[in-house]
Amino acid sequence: MKKILLAALLTGSHFYAKTQSIIIKDPVIEKMVAEVNADSLKGYINKLVSFGTRHTLSTTQDSKKGIGAARNWVISKFNEFAKNSNGRMKSELDKWVLQKDGKRIDSVADMGNAMAILKGTDTSDKRIFIISGHLDSRITDVMNRTSNAPGANDDGSGVAAVLECARIMSKTAFPSTIIFVAVCGEEQGLLGAEHLAEKAKQNKYMSCNYY
Distance CA 47, CA 28 (A): 30
pLDDT at 178: 96
Confidence of residue 125 (pLDDT cuts 50, 70, 90): very high
Instruction: Map out the domains of the chain with their CATH numbers.
Output: 25-201 (3.40.630.10)
Distance CA 160, CA 154 (A): 11
Confidence of residue 28 (pLDDT cuts 50, 70, 90): confident
Q: Is the pLDDT of residue 11 over 80?
A: no
Averaged confidence pLDDT in the chain: 89
> Distance between the two ends of the chain, CA-based, in angstroms?
71
Q: Is the pLDDT of residue 14 over 60?
A: no
Residue 106: Cβ within 10 Å count: 13
Distance CA 137, CA 149 (A): 6
Sign of the CA dihedral running 88, 133, 201, 191: negative
Q: What is the pLDDT of residues 67-117, one digit of tens each?
A: 999 999 999 999 999 999 999 999 999 999 999 998 999 999 999 999 999
pLDDT at 173: 94
Q: What is the pLDDT of residues 173-188, one digit of tens each?
A: 999 999 999 999 999 9
